[in-house]
Chain A
């Protein structure tokens, strides 16, 4: 799992691939994200790429529905915290399990789930990858199979996804932690997208850490109450 990919080989000749600019002393890999209340035949993986320079190309792949690019690409500046991100991921997987997807697939559902209203295109525009705008990118990959995969096969699967991602994304992979997310969060955007300006509880809260925790909770609540 923790092996860096040796080659950047891709099965899509249309993509010109470059080696990722990862510092050689950092061994990165795709992180498996265990989620509660989800059947064990679903696997969720996540990564964060900083300073991404080919957002336009990546978005083109999504729009053309290239099956090689079945990922949720999220503009990391719109994410308040890992819990905020996972709320959208969880909701998307749960909707897939229940057969209630509102968008074409579970990956687009992640992006749409970040929205507090039912306008899907609006959700892609705000939270999804955008050319010239997206510099830091959260990537979520959701896989499922009829039966749960043995651990060895899961590692192989994660390695394959990681090889593809690092080949295609021109950017610097970092761990998908609260600390790393905090480096790239654009709080003005979060406040705007989740309608948090003028919310009394935020004005009452003086401590900055506590205020951010509340903004995170309000964003998650907005998503949970979407359409109400």
Chain B
């Protein structure tokens, strides 16, 4: 999720029509994400996820891996969407060419919303008495995260890279936004919105408590390092996960083991 520093040639699909210049949003280890006009909805954008060919891999193997990974991600999104997990819909894909177009999700990543809420003054944290502060809007967001992850796991999908950067806060309609003016209302707005889970590039279908617990563990660690000042609220995510997902107790039990030993089950390899 870092700012791209180098210009890459865009994929062929984005060079066919000269009307718009694609906007590179992120550049990851495996793929790139562009913001580009939707092929089917006028005046709307879509996200194009592109996995460029890897020159260090054998071409046949590379083509096969790229195709399988795009297809697998599209399948996971379809499965989640059907089950009511909030994820972007797939609009079109060409797995052989290494791309798929998905719905553009408006709003900011959850990471940004939480950091806006927490504000700019970490040195104050030690002296702030949290009981004096109304933290309800932030706690509500944590609960929505737990519900979203619970829904995801209920579907039989584990995400593989759960972080607050891989969740979007899709703004609510104006009439459901928190009322009022001033700092308090502004802060509440920062953490308002539906949680939409994105980037299923590492996702897989799994029903095992172990895989689910690792998902939660990755989120817990990411949360602690991205939002250390909100770490003491992380348990709200797990609490609502427990309510949202029937098989949560087994997963949370497993999470204790995973915390003891870390993400990798085996020390081999």
Contacts and interface: CB of A to CB of B under 8 A. Distances in A.
A34 B40 CA distance: 10
B83 A90 contact: no
B22 to A, nearest CB: 10
Given A36-B38, A225-B75, A200 B16 contact: no
Contacts of A218: 81-82, 89
B71 interface: yes
Chain B's interface: helix, strand, loop or mixed, by majority?
Answer: mixed
B14 interface: yes
A121 interface: no
A37 B78 contact: no
A8 B19 CA distance: 37
A34 B43 CA distance: 11
Chain A's interface: helix, strand, loop or mixed, by majority?
Answer: helix
A199 B82 contact: yes
A44 B163 CA distance: 42
Contacts of A36: 17, 19-20, 36-39
Interface of A: 34-40, 83, 86-87, 90-91, 94, 97-98, 199-201, 204, 217-218, 220-222, 224-225, 228
Given A217-B81, A220-B89, A224-B93, 13 more contacts: A37-B36, A39-B16, A40-B17, A86-B39, A87-B91, A90-B40, A98-B97, A201-B81, A204-B84, A221-B90, A224-B92, A225-B90, A228-B75
Nearest to A203: B84
Interface of B: 13-14, 16-20, 36-42, 71, 74-75, 77-78, 81-84, 89-94, 97, 100, 103
Nearest to B38: A36
Contacts, number: 82
Contacts of B20: 36
B31 to A, nearest CB: 17
A-B pairs, 9 with minimum CB distance: A201-B84, A217-B89, A86-B40, A36-B37, A90-B39, A83-B40, A221-B90, A87-B40, A224-B90
A121 to B, nearest CB: 24
B83 A200 contact: yes
A38 B17 contact: yes
Contacts of A201: 81-84
7 contacts: A37-B13, A38-B16, A83-B41, A87-B40, A98-B97, A217-B81, A220-B91
